[in-house]
């Protein structure tokens, strides 16, 4: 059995917990997730099974869409509502809708973030949260991320909260985005709610719960929950090849650079409707393309 399971990750489970549970249910070790979600966050977490595990890095690299909530007046050590409060300020005058919209617009496009101390980013071989738990300080590396779109969804002045939807690149910390939005509005802040409603081509509407998965297992119908591997690489351009070239690709051979290069690098190689491989420009020979992943039938 192989394909992509569009899991709706529940609260209270780590992404790794989900992988372990799926391995037991599907009775295979070839299972991988495509982008970590914090334990207390629910949302779309595509799980790759069988040969689909070969596309994990490509699906991880796709756009994500989140619904998030900023709470003004308090900053926490974890930048979400589960950490200890480290700074407080009264919200005597809640920002106007116009102020909020203008502030959100400031974060659209390329932005620089400093990852939270309670995160899995590695510095000198150790994860930042390991330093944080040991009460050690370390300089955190800045990273550039991209916010494709950020949309104001409403606010609740009585609870000092603002809700928005963000479409962003891999590696974006929504917790940090919430803290920075609050800072621009003049208040300490943290993320009080987060839900991931889309990863790549996989949406909330298509996602399945563990309850549905268990029910399908009882009915011996797990395969019906799996989406095709090609759905995980819809963001990559496609190159169509003939039957002769297909045979070469099956053996992972390098190929001459096509006259018309696909719009993305890497790109998907197809023969009719059959997904053969993922290729890229050869890093050392501009006249060739080389296989990154090959799929066997």
Tell me: the pLDDT tens digits for 201-230?
Answer: 999 999 999 999 999 999 999 999 999 999
Cβ 66 vs Cβ 168: under 8 Å: yes
Q: At what angle do helices 97-105 and 174-185 cross, to 10 degrees?
A: 130
How far apart (Å, rounded) are the C-alpha atoms in residues 66 and 178?
A: 12
Active-site annotation holder among 38, 80, 220, 242: 38
Length in residues, the chain: 297
Q: How far is CA 5 from the centre of its chain?
A: 15
Tell me: the pLDDT tens digits for 80-127?
Answer: 999 999 999 999 999 999 999 999 999 999 999 988 888 778 888 888
Q: Which residues contact 178 (CB under 8 A, 6 or more apart)?
A: 68, 69, 70, 71, 79, 189, 190, 191, 192
How far apart (Å, rounded) are the C-alpha atoms in residues 36 and 120?
A: 10
Taken in order of first residue, the domains within the chain and their CATH numbers are 3-61+201-232 (3.30.2350.10), 64-197 (3.30.2350.10), 236-294 (2.30.130.10)
Q: What is the mean pLDDT of the chain?
A: 94
pLDDT of residue 297: 60
How far apart (Å, rounded) are the C-alpha atoms in residues 221 and 30?
A: 19
Tell me: the pLDDT tens digits for 158-168?
Answer: 999 999 999 99
pLDDT higher for 98 or 1? 98
Tell me: the pLDDT tens digits for 32-86?
Answer: 998 788 899 999 999 999 999 999 999 988 999 999 999 999 999 999 999 999 9
Radius of gyration in angstroms for the set of CA atoms belonging to the chain, rounded to a whole number:
22
How far apart (Å, rounded) are the C-alpha atoms in residues 1 and 272?
A: 23
pLDDT of residue 36: 83
Cβ 280 vs Cβ 267: under 8 Å: yes
- pTM of the complete model beyond 0.85: yes
The 3 state secondary structure assigned to the chain is CCEEEEEEECCCCCHHHHHHHHHHHHCCCCEEECCCCCCCCEEEEEEEEHHHHHHHHHHHCCCEEEEEEEEECEEECCCECCCCEEEECCCCCCCCHHHHHHHHHCCCEEEEECCCCCCCCEECCEEHHHHHHCCCCCCCCCEEEEEEEEEEEEEEHHHCEEEEEEEECCCCCHHHHHHHHHHHHCCCEEEEEEEEEEECCEEHHHCECHHHHHHHHHCCCHHHHCECHHHHHCCCCEEECCHHHHHHHHCCCCEECCCCCCCCCCEEEEECCEEEEEEEECCCCCCEEEEEEECCC
How far apart (Å, rounded) are the C-alpha atoms in residues 119 and 187?
A: 23
Instruction: Please state whether 30 falls in left (phi above 0), alpha (psi between -120 and 50) or beta.
Output: beta
How far apart (Å, rounded) are the C-alpha atoms in residues 281 and 93?
A: 55
Say whether 61 is catalytic.
no
User: What is the number of alpha carbons within 13 Å of residue 126 lying toward its C-beta?
Assistant: 14
Burial category of 104 from C-beta neighbours within 10 Å (exposed 0-12, middle 13-18, buried 19 and up): buried
Query: Could you tell me the two tokens for 196?
Result: 């991931």
């Amino acid at each position: 059995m192989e394909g992509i399971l569009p899991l709706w990750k529940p609260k209270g489970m780590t992404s790794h917990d989900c992988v372990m549970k799926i391995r037991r249910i599907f009775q295979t070790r070839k299972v991988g997730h495509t982008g970590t979600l914090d334990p207390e966050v629910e949302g779309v977490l595509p799980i790759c099974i069988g040969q689909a595990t070969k596309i994990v890095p490509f699906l991880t690299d796709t756009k994500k869409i989140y619904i998030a909530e900023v709470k003004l007046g308090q900053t926490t050590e974890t930048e979400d509502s589960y950490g200890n409060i480290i700074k407080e300020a009264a919200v005597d005058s809640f920002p106007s809708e116009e102020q909020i919209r203008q502030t959100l617009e400031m974060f659209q496009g390329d932005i620089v973030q400093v990852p939270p101390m309670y995160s899995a980013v590695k510095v000198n071989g150790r994860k930042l949260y390991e330093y944080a738990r040991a009460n050690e300080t370390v300089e955190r590396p800045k990273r550039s991320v991209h916010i494709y779109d950020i949309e104001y969804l409403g606010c609740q002045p009585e609870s000092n909260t603002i809700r928005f939807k963000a479409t962003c690149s891999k590696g974006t910390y929504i917790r940090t985005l919430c803290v920075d939005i609050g800072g621009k509005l003049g208040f300490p802040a943290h993320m009080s709610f987060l839900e991931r409603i889309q990863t790549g081509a996989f949406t909330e509407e298509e996602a399945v719960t563990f309850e549905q998965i268990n029910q399908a297992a009882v009915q011996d119908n797990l395969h019906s929950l799996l989406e095709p591997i090609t759905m995980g690489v819809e963001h990559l351009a496609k190159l169509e090849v003939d039957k002769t070239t297909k045979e070469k690709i099956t053996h992972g051979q390098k190929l001459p650079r096509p006259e018309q290069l696909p719009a993305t690098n890497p790109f998907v190689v197809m023969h009719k409707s059959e997904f053969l491989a993922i290729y890229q420009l050869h890093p050392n020979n501009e006249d060739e393309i080389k296989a990154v992943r090959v799929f066997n039938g």
